[in-house]
Amino acid sequence: MWRNSLRKAKFISSGELQFLLWRRGLSSSASGEPARRFAAVWGNGDYGRLGIGTLDSQWKPKSLHCSSFNHQSLKAIACGGAHTLFLTETGRVYAAGLNDFGQLGSSDSVNYSMEPVEVSGLTKEIVQISAGYHHSCAITADGELYMWGKNSSGQLGLGKKAEKVVHMPTKVEFLSGLTIKSAALGSEHSIAVTDGGETLSWGGVGYGRLGHGLNSSFFGFLTSNSEYTPRLIKKLEGIKVKNVAAGLLHSACIDGIAETGSLFIFGEKVVTNLVLEEDRIETTPSMISTLPYSEEVACGGYHTCVVTRGGELYTWGSNENGCLGIGSTDVFDVPERVQGPFLKSPVDKVSCGWKHTAAISDGKVFTWGWGGSHGTFSEDGHSSGGQLGHGSDLDYITPTMVQFGENVRALQISCGFNHTGAILEYK
């Protein structure tokens, strides 16, 4: 149930933010060297998903000091439904936020954590993290995939007999013999890519988001609502996938071999007018040939974003609250180039939340879409948004720069359901 915001976050200027970042521990690390990379978070604070030690929402970026991570610099951040994962440069994983399905990977049976806690049981160096709506994953340096959290639809890939809630990181044994290079988690499904570019998916079958096609019995009924173990997407055989994304009800990947950098997409309401006339669902990957060479793709609730080799940003799909960034709330069934500030400087990174979007261009963060005037998951009945980081819960229909200060640059961006996080570095 959506509730109006009754709590206001304290605003600070960009100059004050820079000063606070330094004063609150970012100037030192365990090795004695400056901790140059750190996280900033903003948006809905319910269940402590921001990791700042309170349930307060933040309408402007709030830094996380390195003492929260044993004085380690940060390498990556992944925002999920109501939790956040943090990866340090030493390969350790921390988590904060809601833990009702074990998505924090903590040995403690807490309902939520307002501060980052180290994920238990990961003994190897971790090189990549990803957060779904209620589940999480980590990839080791030698290509093993560990998953934890909600498993009601088989989204952890641990087999049909696995528990519906898994609190501790568990190796996906069905991937033994394969080296996993990347993974993406959606609402109830997961996708992984091997070092050879093979793509596997598992979890909730509905809406075609796994790309396997709908498996029916002789009577026309689905034989199963889930794939409980990783399954190769056959239509992508022979294609070396280099980038993959998972949204609420759809998925996408980019061909790393073809000279065109082709984008393949599958799921609900994402390919209308592009392939197969007006089909509502595409259950196997279909190529979108109208885009220039694609480098990166991100999937949101009902919208998709692609960054091309030339740094152009294209978006399409549902445009609620202006999440496409095209200056209106019109729905686009075909890729539309986002202009504004991106005509002057190319886009490097993009991430999609449920109904908001964030991108990095020239080391700066731009956000647009749903500002969060209605939030969720409040412990005390109060809630807010602020996931755009502009100091209010208003919607923005064009990309607008988030203020951090002049001596930092953004390296990575991640959108959750209604919160956002970034990895920043001192210049």
Residue 20 or residue 73, greater confidence: 73
The conformation of residue 388, written as its DSSP 8-state character, comes to: T
**Per-domain residue ranges of the chain:** 37-426
pTM: 0.89
Supply the pLDDT for residue 27.
41
- DSSP labels, 238-260: T--EEEEEE-SSEEEEEESSSTT
Rg (CA), the chain: 20
Question: pLDDT class for 308, splitting at 50, 70, 90?
Answer: very high
Q: Please tell me whether residue 154 adopts helix, strand or coil conformation.
A: coil
End-to-end Cα, the chain, rounded Å: 43
Phi, psi of 3 (to 5 degrees): -130, 145
Tokens matching residue 301: 């609730």
Q: Which residues pair with 230 in a beta bridge?
A: none
Q: In this structure, are strands 374-375 and 3-4 parallel, antiparallel, or unpaired?
A: antiparallel
pLDDT of residue 149: 98
The whole-number pLDDT of residue 223 equals 58
Window from 24-33, 132-141, 180-189, 231-240 with minimum mean pLDDT: 24-33
| H or E segment to which residue 18 belongs | helix 14-21
Confidence of residue 18 (pLDDT cuts 50, 70, 90): very low
Query: What Cα–Cα distance (Å) separates residue 79 from each residue in 188, 215, 322?
Result: 15, 32, 21
Q: What is the mean pLDDT of residues 4-28?
A: 39
What's the confidence (pLDDT) of residue 397?
97
Mean pLDDT of all residues in 85-113: 95
Cα(337)–Cα(346) distance, rounded to whole angstroms?
A: 12
Residue 96 has pLDDT above 90, yes or no: yes
Of 214 and 68, more confident: 68
Q: Which pLDDT belongs to residue 280?
A: 64
DSSP per residue over 72-113, as a string? --EEEEEE-SSEEEEEETTS-EEEEEE-TTSTT--SS--SEE
DSSP 351-371: EE-SSEEEEEETTEEEEEE--
- In the block, tokens 């004050």 appear at 16
Interatomic CA distance for residues 83 and 91, integer angstroms: 19
Instruction: Note the pLDDT of residue 405.
Output: 83
- What's the rounded Cα separation, in Å, for the pair 241 and 233? 11
Report strand pairing: 294-299 vs 281-288. unpaired
Strand 332-338 and strand 241-246: pairing? unpaired
Nearest-angstrom CA–CA distance, 245 and 411: 19
The class level of CATH for 37-426 reads mainly beta
Residue pair 210/177 in contact (Cβ under 8 Å)? The answer is: no
8-state DSSP, 49: T
